[in-house]
Each structure stands twice: as structure tokens, then as C-alpha cells.
Structure 1
Amino acid sequence: MSYSPNSELLRRTIDLNYANKKRASSMKWIAINGLVLLVFAYDLWGKCAGYTSLLHYAELCVAGVAAANLLQHAAALARARRLARAAPAAARRPGPAADTSLADTDASAAEEMAAEALSLSLSMSAGRAWRSSPPPSPPSPHTPHSAGAPSSPASPLGRHERDEFIADRRSLADYLRSRADRGRAEGAEPGWGAPGPAAAASPVYQLAAVETDGGSPEERAEAGAGPAAWRRLQLDPQRLTQFNLNLRVWLHATVLVRVARELDALDAAFAAHGLSDVRMGQVSTERLRKLAGAFPALAPLLPFLEPFPDQQYVVQRYRELAAGGCLSAYRWSGGGAGWDEARPADAELLLHALAAYLDAQLPREASGAGGFSARHVSAAPAPPPRGPRALALHRAARAPPHFVLVHGEETVEVGAGRNNLLHCLLVFVALCGAREPPALRRLHLGPAGLNLLWVIGR
């Protein structure tokens, strides 16, 4: 999945915002140039005999320039109006990146969305201190997207194939054509994705139902285990796709991009100091701890790496997850090249990265443990924390990864599958947001703090 200012929906929104600004600017300059033209035209019409020819020609030149500017801005105004009419019309066309609600978007909403998208790219270059400023506010997409190709037993996707993001009808047609070509090349019978009698029809995108009677056991569990939790927390099940996307954007922009940027910066710092044999992922954590005194940026990064013995894989996987927009490389029960069950699955690695990031934001426990990890993360075989104020993400199984949410004395199941961790995090955010004030140990979850409430539209 990819989300960037080049996406179709965001491009249309920026075009609409640009057209509105051009229209306002053109109207302003039309008024100014029209006033100047009227003044000089009136003066030339009623000129007195005492005017010299030089002054007469100067006024003619100014009037001519004003008239030319007036025509130019009038043409620009006409173009801006055509563009403003074309953007909502294009948004009304059905497709995976267009929603009919975009047709009703006014200028202020378009301007806000475009500004948020631009602020995301700018915020990523604003210093490398983990605690110096609130995390960036990722753009709030108006359209839910699928996290990848559908997962079902009949899917021909291999175990190590990456999900492909379907951005529009053309990319869908290309994907189906590639699947059909691969099936013919391998001599397989036409299956899912192969051309058939219905392939000639134009594809129609519909929102998947939350509850279903069909599909695999994993899909039924994922669809049916969560609605009770969503209703109790006043989360709209039909908006889960959008919340899922919002959370992916937040995790990618706030945590993973920063981790990858710090890894690259430290490699550059090692090389600049002549430590050619030191690279992140190539040396042990013991040596990195010794180097932390000479490289202050290293100490905040060590918690992201320390629990895992295979440093090379973890560093490379952090970079891979940060490279694609919106966690496009995320494989909840697997990983990157060379992954096996001895290495952390992406779900486990993602939760650890989030916990390490929040540990850096929250005050540490008296025992020295991270403030978030000590109170809000646990894993079997250790029992989950219980109590009236308990709120924790508990890993009930490692292979495949399965997480539950512990709330007081209750265990909240949100369903198994690839969205298990993401849905647990959404419920966790909703529970924290329901508090007054919405905070994690004095760290506000709103725009002035973590800005996590944006994920669930609050």
C-alpha cells in the first residue's frame, strides 16, 4: 500500500485547492487592473489641451499594460473555474482511489488536506531528537484503501510474495493480466485472476462487509470477533479500513521513517570518524553500547535493536518497512528476505518499534524499564497484567503472531489474521482516548502530544 502526495485522490485535492487559489488571485488582479484601466481611460477621454504628447503616450502605455493584464487574468480565471469543475467531476467517477464524498469537499477542506500532506513531507526533515517535538501529523485520507490483495485459501499468491497495491483500474487490469500470464507460463489451470467470461466486465469496487458467513476460518474470525468491541467503544465498523490506513500512515511516518533515518545517519557518522568496520546491523549490541558515549544519537536507538539476536536482519527490515509508504512491505506473520521463525515476524517487530518509541516519550519506571513497555506490553508465557486500571497489549501466540487486549479484568479479542495487531492498537487508542484527559501517563494523545487520536478520527 502506498500513500503519497502523488496518489490520485490527493492529486485531485491539491488541484482543486490550487484552482481555488488561482481563482481568488485572478479576481483580485482583475479588479486592480480594471480600476487602473478605467482611471486612465477616463483621463485620456477627457484630456485637456495642456497635455504634452509624452504624457499622453505614457498614459496610453499604462492603460495598454492594464488592459493586457486584465485579459490575462480573465483567461486565468476561466481556466481555474474549468479546473475547479473538473476535479469534483473526476472524483465522482467510481474507482479504488475516488469516493463520491469528494464531490462535496469544499475549498477549506481541500486546502486543509493539501496543507497536511505538504506538512508531512516537511516535518520529516525537522531534526533527529526523539523527544524534542511532537510527532508529525500524517495526512488524513478521505478514502479507505485495501491493505493488499485479498487473503484466502484459493489465492495463488505465494508465501513470500509481496502484496501489490491496486491504485486504479489500470493497475488492477495489469495485475490480473500478470497473474493470468504467470498461470499460463506455469501450465496451471486458470484460477483467481485468470481471464474468464466475467473478465470483460468493468471491475466494480465495493466496501467489504464486516461480518461474513464465508471465507476461511481466519477471515471469519477477523470479521466476526471484533464488532462487539467496536460497538462498545463507539468505533464505526464500516470505517475500520480507513482507521487501519490512518494507523499505518502514523506508524510509518512517526516511527519507522525516523528509525531508518537514524540508522543511516549513524552509519554516516561512523564512516566520518574512520570506523569503517562499524555499521548498524554488522556489529553486536555490546560494542554499540560502548560507542554510545562518543555518539549520543546511538543511545536512543539501541532499544529498537537490543532484544533481537540477528541485528543484521532487524536493521534491514526496519529500512524495508520504512522504504514503502504506509507499510506496503508489512507481512504480519512473516518478514523480509531470509526470514524464518527464529526471526521476529513483522507484527512482533512493529509492536516492539512502537513500544520503544513510546518508551522514549514516557518517563521510565523506578526499575529502569521503559514506561510504556513495562505497563502496557506483555507476552506469553508470562501472564498478562490484571487489575482495575490494567490496559495492555498481550502477545498470546508467537507463530503466527496473535495479540489480545487486556482491559481491567477482561480480555478483548479483535480477531485473528493480518489485521490482528493493527486492530488491537486501534482499540487501545480508543480506550485511552475515552479517558479524561486522553493521555498516557501525562502524555496527551491529541495534536499537542502523540496525535494518535487522529487515527480514529477524534
Structure 2
Amino acid sequence: MRSLFSENFSVKEHNIYLKLLQSVSFSSIFHEKSLQSLAWRLAKASSPTYRWINETILVPLVQEIESVSTQMRRMGCPELQIGEASITSLKQAALVKAPLIPTLNTIVQYLDLTPNQEYLFERIKELSQGGCMSSFRWNRGGDFKGRKWDTDLPTDSAIIMHVFCTYLDSRLPPHPKYPDGKTFTSQHFVQTPNKPDVTNENVFCIYQSAINPPHYELIYQRHVYNLPKGRNNMFHTLLMFLYIIKTKESGMLGRVNLGLSGVNILWIFGE
């Protein structure tokens, strides 16, 4: 299925997406005329978003994992190869070997998604190849050791959302309320069976309301924006989350600028 956010974006598709925006009541925060330009702007932002996630998160993560694994072998710890060792062993190693391998703790945060570390690392490597995540499968993942993907493994959507949240965790300043370092995840991502407090005007988050198949919703100013289900749901929700930050929050997520002088992701929307 071709994304509504593809680069070959037609007027017909623009109108379809405009209706989708209207159907989920984005007119409550954007004027009717704004929705017209918003449909075009989001369409153009799709491919840059894929590239940003790939170049800023996935590729550097794979490179650092391979570097750390090399260091582990040189230190005489082949049992701590990332992709082979358990997440528990890696967490312990991150504490003990922090002075020698300071980036290990950061890597562990990205890997703390599933017990199957071998699959996770291999899938992250596969997704990092090709520039725009061409192997991405929204409701499943890749084949593993000769068997088809099954629900005991995370979907590609879950992997991408996790690394996105973890990256922003690393960019937001520490908060005493979140000693585990998950400042962004704790405030701006909620996963079922937990539920966001939609009565709280200050809640601004991405809500994963279903695991298999994955489905994401956006919570902002007591509104639930339920974008269409399917392949593009996660990326549409991410884009709307970022676009609201750009246009309604002056580009700021708390005290962190997501624009050029900070995290530098808002360039995907152009001027």
C-alpha cells in the first residue's frame, strides 16, 4: 500500500487526507483553511521523517552497538555481545563497566523492549538499511531464524516508537520525578493497558491503544485525535504530535527546543 504521505502526492490524495484530518476533528485546533495547507505540509514531511529517524537514531545506534560489542570482546567479555546477551546481563554490565564503556547504559535503554535481544538487534539493523526504512512492516516484523514473524516479537511500529521515545528521553533534561531517565516517555507516551487522563488539559501524549495490530492516538488539550488505522497510523500520529509542537507550542517540548537550535527535527515541515 502506498503511503498517503508519499513524495508522489496527488491532488486527489490531498483531498482524501484533508477529509481524514476533518474527520478526526483537527479543525478544533487548526482553522479550516489551515487544514488545506496542513495536508500538503504533512505529505511533504513524510519522507524527511523516515530519513530523520534513520539517520539520527537507527544508523548511529547500530554503529555504536557494533563499537561496544568490539570493545567487549577486547576486554575479554565475549558473553556480553549485544544481540546475544540478555537485557538483564547488559543492564548489570552497564553499571559495572560504566567508567570503561559509558555509552553502554544509553544503548541498553534502546534495547529494553523485548527479551529476544537477538531479534531486536537484527531487526534494527535491517530497518536502518536503505535510508527510508523500506523494510518497515507496520503490523509485524521480519522473519527470524527461518520462521515467520509472530506476536511474541515486537512489531516494527513498536520498535520505531520505542527508539523515537528513547532518543527524546536522552535529549530532555533529567527530572527528579523520573529517576529512570525516561523523561519524555513518562510524560508523552502511554501504552495500553494504561490510559491517559484525557480530563487533564496539560496531558499531551501519544497513546498506544492497541498492541496487535498496533494503533496510536494523539491526546492534546482534552481531545483524543484518533487517526485512521493501518500502515500509516503511527507515522501520521508522530507527525501530528511534532506539528502541534511546532505550531502550538512554539517549537518547544518543555524546556527543549525541537527546532534548529535544539533537537532539530522540526525542519521536516519546511518553512
Instruction: Tell me the TM-score normalized by structure 2.
Output: 0.84
Match of 1:455? 268
Alpha-carbon distance, 1:446 to partner:
1.0
Partners of 2:168 and 2:183 in 1: CA distance? 8
Match of 1:397? 210
Partners of 2:26 and 2:263 in 1: CA distance? 22
Which residue among 373, 381, 392 is the counterpart of 2:185?
373
Q: Does 1:297 align with 2:103?
A: yes
What is the 5 A alignment of 1:13-412?
Answer: 145=7, 208-211=12-15, 224-227=19-22, 232-233=29-30, 234=34, 235-292=37-94, 293-294=96-97, 295-338=101-144, 339-365=149-175, 366-369=177-180, 370-386=182-198, 387-412=200-225
Partners of 1:439 and 1:429 in 2: CA distance? 10
Q: Which runs of 5+ in 2 are unaligned?
A: none
Which amino acid in 1 is paired with 2:106? Answer: P
Which amino acid in 1 is paired with 2:255? Answer: R
Match of 1:182? none
Which structure has the larger Rg over C-alpha atoms?
Answer: 1
Equivalent pairs: percent with the same residue?
A: 27
Partners of 1:391 and 1:313 in 2: CA distance? 32
Identify if the C-alpha distance between structure 1 residues 263 and 239 changes in structure 2 by more than 3 Å, giving closer, same or farther. Answer: same
Local SS of the residue matching 2:71: helix
Match of 2:236? 423
Match of 1:167? none
Alpha-carbon distance, 1:413 to partner:
1.7
Match of 1:183? none
Which amino acid in 2 is paired with 1:311? Answer: Q
Let me know the Cα RMSD of the aligned residues.
2.2
333-342 or 420-429: which moved more? Answer: 333-342
Alpha-carbon distance, 1:272 to partner:
1.8
Equivalent pairs counted in the alignment come to 249
Identify if the C-alpha distance between structure 1 residues 225 and 206 changes in structure 2 by more than 3 Å, giving closer, same or farther. Answer: closer
Partners of 2:79 and 2:192 in 1: CA distance? 38
Partners of 1:430 and 1:282 in 2: CA distance? 39
Match of 1:173? none
Instruction: Tell me the TM-score normalized by structure 1.
Output: 0.51
Q: Which runs of 5+ in 1 are unaligned?
A: 1-142, 147-204, 213-221
